Amino acid sequence: MPSPVCYCQPRPHRPEAVSCLGGGWRTFGLILALLPGLAGGAAPSSPPFPGAPAVLNIARAHDSAASDTAAAILQRAYALAGLPLRLEPLPASRASQRLDAGRLDGEVARIGPYFDAHPALLRVGPPLMQVSLVAYVRSDAGFTVRGVADLRGRRVGIVRGLLQSERLVAGLDRVTEVTSGTQLYRMLAAGRLDVVVDAPLNQRRHTAQLGLRNVVAQATLCEQPAYHGLHRRHAALAPRLAAALEAMQASGELAALAAGVEPASAPLLATR
């Protein structure tokens, strides 16, 4: 059986990714020009952008604390850019299908390889956050996971449609895919799985919701940046949104939101 391959090494920015970064005062001046509401200091939002659609329907992953965090970042960025945002919670694989059919205006956050697999999606601005995948086991597991190779022969669970997870476990023959993270941890607690591969934000939420105290992290298997994506039909809006994200990055607001307390409302991760 072939060895599992991890495709999670961060990839360099593709030239087509929309960014306003140019360095130094030139960059800051461009951000102020695109987002005049920032010129007088921090502003809650910018006026509506002329010519923008009535609403932009952006998919977020349901039942995902990591996606909630990215969504909170985007709510701020869209307000700064004066763009109308509607977040639509969808299962990961269904969001991909709707994007490919042209029935979505974008997705909250995706890893680099997802954009390669779905060329209708345009990567916008700096990364929203780093998405880590960690191996979680019960405290009485009796084995240790130090890397991807240690997953071989184990019953491994992932959320269906998450490209990062699917590529990580490619080549393993005892993988279970489910539709929600809550389901994963119920199966782990019941002894139906040996290992859950998930993001730390998700693990903390689901184990707290289920009252599980015997789930422990054993190894970080993969880490990759996640970016916001707009459908290419909205390419004209991308520079303005990129400028908002870059302004948030420069002020430290983006990092604070990415590392902050989990949003109270429910949604990287990337899907196939």
pLDDT, averaged across the chain: 82
Instruction: List the single range of 9-13, 198-202, 225-229 with lowest mean pLDDT.
Output: 9-13
**pLDDT at 262 > cutoff 80:** no
Question: Which two tokens mark 22?
Answer: 């140019």
User: Mean pLDDT across the stretch 14-21?
Assistant: 51
Contact 133, 198 (CB under 8 A): yes
CA-CA distances (angstroms) from residue 26 to 20, 32, 77, 115? 10, 10, 21, 29
- pLDDT the model gives residue 17: 57
Please write the tens of the pLDDT for every residue from 205-240.
999 999 999 999 999 999 999 999 999 999 999 999
Report how far residue 153's alpha carbon sits from residue 230's, in angstroms, rounded to the nearest whole number.
Answer: 39
Least confident of 21-30, 60-69, 87-96, 226-235: 21-30
pLDDT at 12 over 60: no
Q: Which residue has the higher pLDDT, 7 or 176?
A: 176
CB distance 100 to 120 below 8 Å: yes
Average pLDDT for residues 93-121, to the nearest whole number? 92
Name the least confident of 19-23, 98-102, 150-154, 260-264. 260-264
- Please tell me the distance from the alpha carbon of residue 46 to that of residue 83, in angstroms, as a whole number: 8
Task: Name the band, by pLDDT with cuts 50, 70 and 90, for residue 249.
Answer: very high
Provide the pLDDT confidence category of residue 19 given band limits of 50, 70 and 90.
Answer: low
Query: pLDDT tens-digit profile of 35-57?
Result: 544 443 344 556 676 667 889 99
Structure confidence at residue 161 as a pLDDT band (50, 70, 90) = confident
pLDDT: which is higher, 265 or 246 = 246
Planar angle of CA 225, 227, 231, nearest 5 degrees: 155
Return d(Cα 29, Cα 102) in angstroms, integer: 35
Secondary structure of the chain in the HEC alphabet?
CCCCCCCCCCCCCCCCCECCCCCHHHHHHHHHHHCHHHCCCCCCCCCCCCCCCCCEEEEEECCCHHHHHHHHHHHHHHHHHCCCEEEEEECHHHHHHHHHCCCCCEEEEEEHHHHHHCCCEEEEEEEEEEEEEEEEEECCCCCCCCCHHHHCCCCEEEECCEHHHHHHCCCCCCEEEECCHHHHHHHHHCCCCCEEEECHHHHHHHHHHHCCCCEEEEEEEEEEEEEEEEEHHHHHHHHHHHHHHHHHHHHCHHHHHHHCCCCCCCCCCCEC
Inter-helix orientation angle 200-210/181-189, to 10° = 60
Tokens of 162: 């998450």
Q: At what angle do helices 238-251 and 65-81 cross, to 10 degrees?
A: 110
pLDDT at 122 exceeding the cut of 70 = yes
- Residue 46 confidence (pLDDT): 64
Q: pTM (2 decimals)?
A: 0.76
Query: What's the rounded mean pLDDT across residues 127-151?
Result: 95
The percentage of residues in the chain with a pLDDT greater than 70, rounded to a whole number, is 76
Q: Which of 91-95, 116-120, 132-136 has the lowest mean pLDDT?
A: 91-95
Phi, psi dihedral angles at 19 (to 5 degrees):
-145, 150
Confidence (pLDDT) at 260 = 62
- Say how many C-beta atoms besides its own lie within 10 A of residue 154's C-beta: 18
State both tokens at 255. Answer: 């990092």
CB-side exposure of 37: number of CA atoms within 13 Å? 19
Distance (Å, whole) CA 76 – CA 223: 25
19-28, 82-91, 118-127, 244-253: least confident range: 19-28
Residue 29: predicted pLDDT = 47
